[in-house]
Amino acid sequence: NAGVTQTPKFQVLKTGQSMTLQCAQDMNHEYMSWYRQDPGMGLRLIHYSVGAGITDQGEVPNGYNVSRSTTEDFPLRLLSAAPSQTSVYFCASSYGGGAGANVLTFGAGSRLTVL
Protein backbone atom coordinates (compact mmCIF):
# COMPACT_ATOMS: atom_id res chain seq x y z
CA ASN A 1 0.00 0.00 0.00
CA ALA A 2 1.90 3.04 -1.29
CA GLY A 3 -0.63 5.71 -0.27
CA VAL A 4 -0.34 8.88 -2.37
CA THR A 5 2.51 8.93 -4.86
CA GLN A 6 3.64 12.12 -6.59
CA THR A 7 6.10 12.42 -9.44
CA PRO A 8 8.43 14.09 -10.12
CA LYS A 9 9.87 15.18 -6.77
CA PHE A 10 11.79 18.04 -8.33
CA GLN A 11 11.40 19.86 -11.64
CA VAL A 12 12.91 22.96 -13.21
CA LEU A 13 11.06 24.57 -16.10
CA LYS A 14 11.58 27.57 -18.30
CA THR A 15 8.84 30.16 -18.64
CA GLY A 16 6.30 29.03 -21.19
CA GLN A 17 7.06 25.32 -20.97
CA SER A 18 4.33 22.85 -20.12
CA MET A 19 4.44 19.89 -17.80
CA THR A 20 2.28 17.49 -15.84
CA LEU A 21 2.61 16.64 -12.18
CA GLN A 22 1.42 13.11 -11.58
CA CYS A 23 -0.55 11.93 -8.57
CA ALA A 24 -1.72 8.39 -7.91
CA GLN A 25 -3.36 6.80 -4.88
CA ASP A 26 -4.06 3.14 -4.20
CA MET A 27 -6.56 3.54 -1.36
CA ASN A 28 -9.69 3.80 -3.52
CA HIS A 29 -10.31 7.32 -2.24
CA GLU A 30 -13.07 9.24 -3.99
CA TYR A 31 -11.72 12.68 -3.16
CA MET A 32 -8.44 14.00 -4.56
CA SER A 33 -6.99 17.48 -4.52
CA TRP A 34 -3.97 19.58 -5.40
CA TYR A 35 -2.46 22.27 -3.19
CA ARG A 36 0.43 24.62 -3.55
CA GLN A 37 2.50 25.59 -0.53
CA ASP A 38 4.15 29.00 -0.49
CA PRO A 39 5.98 30.67 2.42
CA GLY A 40 3.64 32.78 4.52
CA MET A 41 0.59 31.64 2.58
CA GLY A 42 0.14 28.09 3.76
CA LEU A 43 -1.54 25.59 1.50
CA ARG A 44 -3.86 26.91 -1.14
CA LEU A 45 -6.29 24.66 -2.96
CA ILE A 46 -5.82 24.58 -6.74
CA HIS A 47 -8.32 21.98 -7.97
CA TYR A 48 -10.15 19.07 -6.48
CA SER A 49 -12.22 16.07 -7.55
CA VAL A 50 -14.95 14.17 -5.73
CA GLY A 51 -14.83 11.23 -8.10
CA ALA A 52 -13.87 10.03 -11.55
CA GLY A 53 -15.10 12.42 -14.20
CA ILE A 54 -15.79 15.24 -11.73
CA THR A 55 -13.45 18.15 -11.05
CA ASP A 56 -13.86 21.60 -9.58
CA GLN A 57 -11.83 24.72 -8.98
CA GLY A 58 -10.32 25.72 -5.67
CA GLU A 59 -8.86 29.05 -4.56
CA VAL A 60 -6.09 29.45 -7.13
CA PRO A 61 -7.01 27.51 -10.29
CA ASN A 62 -5.67 29.89 -12.94
CA GLY A 63 -2.84 28.45 -15.01
CA TYR A 64 -3.62 24.86 -14.04
CA ASN A 65 -5.74 22.10 -15.56
CA VAL A 66 -6.83 18.79 -14.11
CA SER A 67 -8.74 15.72 -15.19
CA ARG A 68 -9.92 12.61 -13.36
CA SER A 69 -10.39 9.73 -15.76
CA THR A 70 -9.82 7.05 -13.10
CA THR A 71 -10.30 6.85 -9.35
CA GLU A 72 -6.56 6.36 -8.86
CA ASP A 73 -5.03 9.22 -10.86
CA PHE A 74 -5.35 12.98 -10.68
CA PRO A 75 -2.72 14.74 -12.82
CA LEU A 76 -2.10 18.49 -12.62
CA ARG A 77 -1.12 20.22 -15.86
CA LEU A 78 0.68 23.49 -16.27
CA LEU A 79 0.05 24.57 -19.86
CA SER A 80 2.44 27.54 -19.96
CA ALA A 81 4.57 27.80 -16.84
CA ALA A 82 5.20 31.18 -15.22
CA PRO A 83 7.66 32.15 -12.46
CA SER A 84 4.68 32.76 -10.15
CA GLN A 85 4.04 29.01 -10.29
CA THR A 86 7.31 28.27 -8.53
CA SER A 87 6.12 26.41 -5.46
CA VAL A 88 5.85 23.09 -3.69
CA TYR A 89 2.83 21.13 -4.86
CA PHE A 90 0.99 18.58 -2.76
CA CYS A 91 -1.55 16.04 -3.84
CA ALA A 92 -3.95 14.73 -1.20
CA SER A 93 -6.80 12.25 -1.10
CA SER A 94 -9.52 11.12 1.25
CA TYR A 95 -12.64 9.01 1.35
CA GLY A 96 -16.06 10.25 2.24
CA GLY A 97 -17.50 7.71 4.66
CA GLY A 98 -16.64 5.86 7.86
CA ALA A 99 -14.41 6.71 10.79
CA GLY A 100 -11.65 8.32 8.73
CA ALA A 101 -13.89 10.27 6.43
CA ASN A 102 -12.51 13.51 5.05
CA VAL A 103 -9.07 13.01 6.57
CA LEU A 104 -6.52 13.92 3.93
CA THR A 105 -3.60 11.65 3.08
CA PHE A 106 -0.82 13.69 1.51
CA GLY A 107 1.84 12.91 -1.02
CA ALA A 108 5.49 13.78 -0.40
CA GLY A 109 5.32 16.92 -2.52
CA SER A 110 6.77 18.10 -5.81
CA ARG A 111 9.09 21.11 -5.84
CA LEU A 112 8.73 23.10 -9.04
CA THR A 113 10.96 25.97 -10.08
CA VAL A 114 10.07 28.10 -13.09
CA LEU A 115 12.90 30.24 -14.44
Partner 1 sequence: AQRVTQPEKLLSVFKGAPVELKCNYSYSGSPELFWYVQYSRQRLQLLLRHISRESIKGFTADLNKGETSFHLKKPFAQEEDSAMYYCALRRNNNDMRFGAGTRLTVKP
Residue 98 binds partner 1, judged by CB under 8 A: no
CB of 41 to partner 1, least distance (A): 6
Q: What is the C-alpha separation between 48 and 69, in angstroms, rounded?
A: 13
Q: What is the C-alpha separation between 73 and 42, in angstroms, rounded?
A: 24
- Total binding residues toward partner 1, as defined by CB under 8 A: 24
71 or 81: CB nearest partner 1: 71
Nearest to 62 by CA among 43, 81, 49: 81
85: amino acid identity, one letter: Q
Residue range at the interface with partner 1 (CB under 8 A); choices 16-24, 28-36, 64-72, 79-87: 28-36
**The one among 2, 10, 40, 62 contacting partner 1 by CB under 8 A:** 40
Burial of 94 (0-12, 13-18, 19+ CB in 10 A): middle
Contact, 74 vs 68, CB < 8 A? yes
Q: What is the C-alpha separation between 20 and 10, in angstroms, rounded?
A: 12
Provide the mask over 51-90, with x wherever binding to partner 1 is found by CB under 8 A and - wherever it is not. -----x-xx------------------------------x
CB of 96 to partner 1, least distance (A): 8
The residues binding partner 1 (CB under 8 A) are: 31, 33, 35, 40-45, 48, 50, 56, 58-59, 90, 92, 96, 102-104, 106-109
